[in-house]
Structure 1
Amino acid sequence: MTEEGERRAATLQAASSVLVVVDLQDRLVPAIEDHEAVVARAGILVKAAEILAIPVVFTEHFPEKIGPTVAAVTTQGPGRQVFRKEHFNACDEPGFTTLMADLGRPQAIVCGTEAHVCVLQTALGLVGLGYQTAVVEDASGSRKAPDREAGFRRLAVSGVTPVTSEMVVFEWAARGGTDDFRALHALIK
């Protein structure tokens, strides 16, 4: 198997992951198709990350105009970081790649809005930096379904692994029968 194939085939691991929540902001989210489900699934991922001490990076695109991250997904945990950005690709923003490198985790799990713009460009940027990158399809959205689906198709052929929130939670859990698993399982029941 090639190095890229090994990187794409690797199981998501809590100790190797960082969750990147892209632009789930107050004034943008209501325009997103099926936004309640997108926010609910992103919230599950954030809570799972808290349980497993996985760092969470929230990007906010021009928060003074679009607002902060929606309260339903924010966390006050020690691994929480908010990163203001102007570029659609967070990796093009000064300081973002340093922030990610300082976390020292090779797997980036990405969700948010819009799937075909900021999520797409940030995920492609992370792949370009060598991160094993997965985009959580049920926790990512766009204003229009055709844009969302085109974004996911492009990601899939660009070295980004498509996943769902349940896939991520169960891979992070790795096994049943633990206190962490019971807490995680309660999130997705």
Structure 2
Amino acid sequence: MAGPTRRLTNPALFICDVQEKFRPAIYEFDKVVATTQKMLKASRILNIPVFATTQNRARLGETCSELGLDVPGGIATRVHADKSLFSMWTPDVRKGLSSLPTPVECVIVGIETHICVTQTTLDLLREGHKVYILADGVSSCNKEEIPIALARLRAEGAVVTTSESWMYECMGDAAIEEFRKIVGLVKETSQSTRESLQTLCKF
């Protein structure tokens, strides 16, 4: 008899431009970082490939160091590319994604909701991928932009959800091997999850 299988069979985590330089400007930036950290831990548990970008790294700097991307003992990204495009749909990302079965179930965190997250989502949808946007993991300089962008992206066919909901949907079955570790992660991050929901998902 076959063992339990995950509900989402081909997920990938997209981290859009979570750079230190943006910290003072973005509404509740630290909550975006906290959700991104949680999703990175989940990606390690569930062996989910990670695609990350920076926007104009020479001028705007590296991805926030607390995410631990591409450092010894940190998260090994499939792609960690710099871009001038607003969308993450760059040649490096396209190449990295091409090695995965399609369609990919892309889950997005990062900034800004109405610019880079929006354009990334539209490009991924156009290419036939499934897109999940985590409402507790995206933000903009002006908080009023967030609900407008999310409403548009829902209408375009993206799924707007939360980090905890997505992790459980990804698993789909409490009998899978990684379930207990994910439950541990949910308990470990319960306070930061609550705070992120209360600030980023109140609109």
TM-score class, shorter-chain normalisation, is: 0.7 to 0.9
Mapped contact 1:53–1:79 kept (Cα < 8 A): no
Question: Aligned-pair distance for 1:107?
Answer: 1.0
Bigger Cα Rg: 2
Relative to structure 1, is the Cα distance of residues 86 and 12 closer, same or farther in structure 2, using a 3 angstrom cutoff?
Answer: farther
**Superposition map of 1:27-42 within 5 A:** 27-42=21-36
Structure 1 residues 25-48: Cα deviation after superposition (integer angstroms, max 9, x where no partner): 110133211112111111111110
**TM-score of the pair, normalised by structure 1:** 0.86
Asked if 1:95 corresponds to 2:92, the answer is yes
**TM-score of the pair, normalised by structure 2:** 0.80
Task: Name the amino acid aligned to 1:142.
Answer: S
Inter-partner Cα distance in structure 2 for 1:131 and 1:175: 23
**Superposition map of 1:21-100 within 5 A:** 21-75=15-69, 76-91=74-89, 93-100=90-97
Secondary structure, counterpart of 1:150 in structure 2: helix
Inter-partner Cα distance in structure 2 for 1:74 and 1:170: 24
Mapped contact 2:12–2:106 kept (Cα < 8 A): yes
Relative to structure 1, is the Cα distance of residues 48 and 166 closer, same or farther in structure 2, using a 3 angstrom cutoff?
Answer: same
Q: Which runs of 5+ in 1 are unaligned?
A: 1-10
Q: Report which stretch shifted further, 45-54 or 177-186.
A: 177-186
Task: Name the amino acid aligned to 2:46.
Answer: L
Secondary structure, counterpart of 1:36 in structure 2: helix
Task: Name the amino acid aligned to 1:101.
Answer: S
Structure 1 residues 132-179: Cα deviation after superposition (integer angstroms, max 9, x where no partner): 111111101111111111111111101111010001111122222555
**Superposition map of 1:1-189 within 5 A:** 13=8, 15-75=9-69, 76-91=74-89, 93-105=90-102, 106-176=104-174, 180-189=178-187
Question: Aligned-pair distance for 1:68?
Answer: 1.1
Secondary structure, counterpart of 1:175 in structure 2: coil
Task: Name the amino acid aligned to 2:109.
Answer: C
Structure 1 residues 93-152: Cα deviation after superposition (integer angstroms, max 9, x where no partner): 333322212233521111100001000100110000100111111101111111111111
Q: Report which stretch shifted further, 30-39 or 133-142.
A: 30-39
Mapped contact 1:12–1:168 kept (Cα < 8 A): no
Total equivalences in the alignment: 177
What's the C-alpha RMSD, in Å, of the aligned pairs?
1.8
Mapped contact 2:35–2:136 kept (Cα < 8 A): yes
Q: Which runs of 5+ in 2 are unaligned?
A: 1-5, 188-203
Mapped contact 1:41–1:138 kept (Cα < 8 A): yes
Secondary structure, counterpart of 1:54 in structure 2: coil
Inter-partner Cα distance in structure 1 for 2:61 and 2:98: 27
Inter-partner Cα distance in structure 2 for 1:69 and 1:78: 13
Relative to structure 1, is the Cα distance of residues 64 and 118 closer, same or farther in structure 2, using a 3 angstrom cutoff?
Answer: same
Report sequence identity in percent. Answer: 27
Secondary structure, counterpart of 1:157 in structure 2: helix
